[in-house]
Amino acid sequence: MEAIAGTIDEETAVKLAVRGDEQALARLLRDNYALLYRYLLKVTMHKAMTEDLVQETMVKAIERIGSFQRKSKFSTWLITIGTRLYMDEMRKKQRERKWQSGEQALQAIRFETAMRQEEWPEMLEALGTLSYDIRVPVLMKYYYGYAYDDIAAMLDIPLGTVKSRLHNGLKQLRKELGR
């Protein structure tokens, strides 16, 4: 089966995984790991949190694969799970801690990036200043190209709230980048 799993397309792999094929599910998770990791790193701006969220997302996907209805791409489903887990985590942290831990995490990413001699684009710096509830829709719309309706569904918020957050996010980014 492993030789077959390497040659099947994603749609077939999803069908097999939903029916309980563990190798097909493992392939889907492996194929989408890097995309999910990069997305959540941009969302969280925190490497350790990203690693935890990716792992938790993978576990949830394994647990819930039987309920995946194939209305969206598998990667979109993973991003939705990861985003919701992130939002839940931020709500918890917001009650527990203040801004300081987020700022320290951003500095850690900057330091790690500098140590690898990679560029830290001004836009990522500006994104880091946005609150999580605004940063996530901005990333989904303008970096990953999701439609307003998709973002609303993925975040489980009204369409008007998505548009408002995007408007406010762009306004804040323009202000931040104008400095």
CB contact set of 75 (below 8 Å; sequence gap of 6+)? 32, 35, 36
pLDDT attached to residue 10 = 92
pLDDT attached to residue 113 = 59
pLDDT attached to residue 84 = 96
- This prediction's pTM: 0.66
- Distance of alpha carbon 80 from alpha carbon 40, whole angstroms: 11
Of 74, 61, 60, the residue nearest 8 (C-alpha): 74
pLDDT attached to residue 91 = 84
- Distance of alpha carbon 25 from alpha carbon 111, whole angstroms: 36
Domain boundaries, the chain: 1-119, 121-179
pLDDT attached to residue 47 = 95
- Distance of alpha carbon 34 from alpha carbon 5, whole angstroms: 19
pLDDT attached to residue 5 = 44
Q: Which residue type occupies 143?
A: Y
Buried b (16+ CB within 10 A) or exposed e, 166-179: bebbeebbeebeee
pLDDT attached to residue 93 = 77
pLDDT attached to residue 4 = 45
Which architecture characterizes domain 121-179 according to CATH? Orthogonal Bundle (1.10)
Phi first, then psi: give them for residue 66, nearest 5 degrees: -65, -20
* 82 membership: H or E segment, kind and range: helix 74-96
User: CATH fold of 1-119, please?
Assistant: Rna Polymerase Sigma Factor; Chain: A (1.10.1740)
pLDDT attached to residue 83 = 97
pLDDT attached to residue 81 = 97
- Distance of alpha carbon 4 from alpha carbon 25, whole angstroms: 13
pLDDT attached to residue 97 = 61
Could you read off the pLDDT tens digit of each residue along the chain, which spans 179 residues? 444 445 789 999 999 999 999 999 999 999 999 999 999 999 999 999 999 999 999 999 999 999 999 899 999 999 999 999 999 998 887 766 654 555 556 565 655 655 565 554 677 778 878 888 999 999 888 888 899 999 999 999 999 999 999 999 989 988 887 86
- Pair 136, 86: CB distance under 8 Å: yes
